[in-house]
């Protein structure tokens, strides 16, 4: 964008003029700026304000500022504490298998073999909505006519039906397994793209020096794509924590709230409690958790130095 300046003799301050090209660029970006402001920044600001208000659908005539009361009520709720613990299990046990399996799949797809292009284009799970995935897995894990129970019985692995969605322990395992299946594709796509950017000369030189496969993996491959690994992992943590779709369609947070995470707990406050103030307070807590985690994660991984040889 070209910006021209000239001096204003009266006040002694520079006057900025935007050229026609700069004005054209600004006008092209203006619709996007307006849409993002309306649908992203305004709801975010409104949500933060609501977190400090008595804002309930049952008492719309009494909307007022109440300070930290919503936060105190939420933190004192046993359901919030359970959701906070569940959120940790949900993120940790979903992220690690997604990353490891996705990394292995990417390494396999990097090798040349017949039909590799077909496998590289296989992004079907990532293209589906989380809500639809939840419905599919809900049918598969059904205790009466579910295909998974049916296969396990036919192969002689189990003798009786497992109540995957009715038992609190099995329910949490079930939603995590479904989420792992969903997220593997993301890591595979992103890591494969990073792997294809590594110059082949590095591997050829390493082979000449006698480096084996694992030496190349830990001394060339991983250091070279480390920035991608750090960013994709961070993005996935953020998305998993803010991913209520799958849980809500699969278990609706049950049984007895055993699969609630912070984002589904927030939806519960909106849909059944009609308490937008408390739901907004949960949203603000999630934002602060993610901000502090992101800062700590980027500092711990030394992201600014990642990829340096």
Q: Is 45 within a domain?
A: no
User: Rounded to an integer, what distance in angstroms lies between the CA atom of residue 127 and that of residue 142?
Assistant: 24
**What pLDDT digit, counting tens, does each position of 22-45 carry?**
788 888 889 999 999 998 899 889
Are the CB atoms for 263 and 240 separated by under 8 Å? Answer: no
- Considering the chain, what is the average pLDDT of its residues? 85
Q: Is 153 within a domain?
A: yes
* Sign for the pseudo-dihedral over CA of 274, 280, 281, 285: positive
Q: Is 262 within a domain?
A: yes
User: Rounded to an integer, what distance in angstroms lies between the CA atom of residue 45 and that of residue 132?
Assistant: 30
User: Rounded to an integer, what distance in angstroms lies between the CA atom of residue 52 and that of residue 69?
Assistant: 7
Q: Is 38 within a domain?
A: no
When pLDDT is cut at 50, 70 and 90, the band that residue 3 belongs to is: very low
Query: Total structural domains in the chain?
Result: 1
Q: Is 198 within a domain?
A: yes
Q: Is 1 within a domain?
A: no
Cis peptide before 255 (omega within 30 of 0): yes
pLDDT at residue 226 tops 50: yes
Instruction: Compute and round to an integer the Cα radius of gyration of the chain.
Output: 25
Q: Is 55 within a domain?
A: no
Are the CB atoms for 301 and 222 separated by under 8 Å? Answer: no
User: Rounded to an integer, what distance in angstroms lies between the CA atom of residue 195 and that of residue 226?
Assistant: 10
pTM across the whole model: 0.83
The CATH number of the domain holding residue 278 is 1.10.3720.10
**What pLDDT digit, counting tens, does each position of 227-267 carry?**
999 999 999 999 999 888 889 888 888 888 889 999 999 98
The total of other beta-carbon atoms located within 10 Å of residue 237's CB is 18
Question: What's the pLDDT score for residue 83?
Answer: 93
Residue 293: which domain range?
A: 73-305
Q: Is 170 within a domain?
A: yes
**What pLDDT digit, counting tens, does each position of 90-137 carry?**
999 999 999 999 999 888 888 776 766 666 566 666 667 778 888 888
């Amino acid at each position: 964008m070209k910006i021209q300046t000239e001096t204003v003799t009266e006040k002694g301050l520079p006057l900025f003029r935007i050229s026609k090209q700069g004005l054209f660029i600004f006008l092209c970006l203006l619709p996007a700026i307006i849409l993002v402001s309306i649908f992203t920044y305004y709801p975010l600001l409104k949500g933060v304000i609501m977190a400090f208000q008595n804002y309930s659908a049952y008492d719309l005539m009494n909307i007022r500022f109440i300070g930290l009361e919503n936060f105190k009520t939420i933190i004192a709720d046993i359901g919030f504490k359970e959701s906070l613990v569940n959120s940790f299990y949900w993120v940790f046990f979903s992220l690690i298998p997604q990353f490891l399996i996705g990394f292995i799949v990417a390494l396999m797809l990097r090798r040349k073999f017949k039909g590799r292009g077909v496998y590289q284009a296989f992004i079907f799970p990532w293209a589906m909505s989380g809500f639809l995935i939840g419905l599919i897995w809900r049918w598969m894990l059904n205790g009466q006519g579910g295909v998974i129970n049916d296969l396990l019985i036919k192969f002689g692995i189990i003798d009786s039906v497992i109540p995957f969605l009715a038992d609190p322990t099995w329910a949490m395992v079930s939603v995590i397994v479904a989420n792992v299946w969903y997220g593997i594709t993301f890591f595979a796509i992103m890591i494969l793209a990073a792997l294809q950017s590594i110059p082949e000369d590095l591997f050829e030189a390493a082979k000449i020096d006698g480096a084996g496969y694992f030496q190349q993996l830990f001394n060339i491959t991983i250091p070279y794509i480390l920035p991608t690994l750090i960013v994709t992992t961070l993005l996935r943590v953020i998305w998993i924590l803010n991913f209520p779709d799958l849980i809500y369609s699969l278990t609706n947070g049950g049984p007895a709230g055993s699969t609630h995470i912070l984002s589904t707990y927030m939806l519960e406050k909106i849909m059944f409690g009609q308490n937008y103030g408390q739901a907004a307070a949960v949203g603000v807590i999630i934002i602060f958790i993610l901000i502090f985690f992101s800062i700590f994660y980027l500092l711990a991984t030394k992201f600014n130095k990642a990829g340096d040889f």
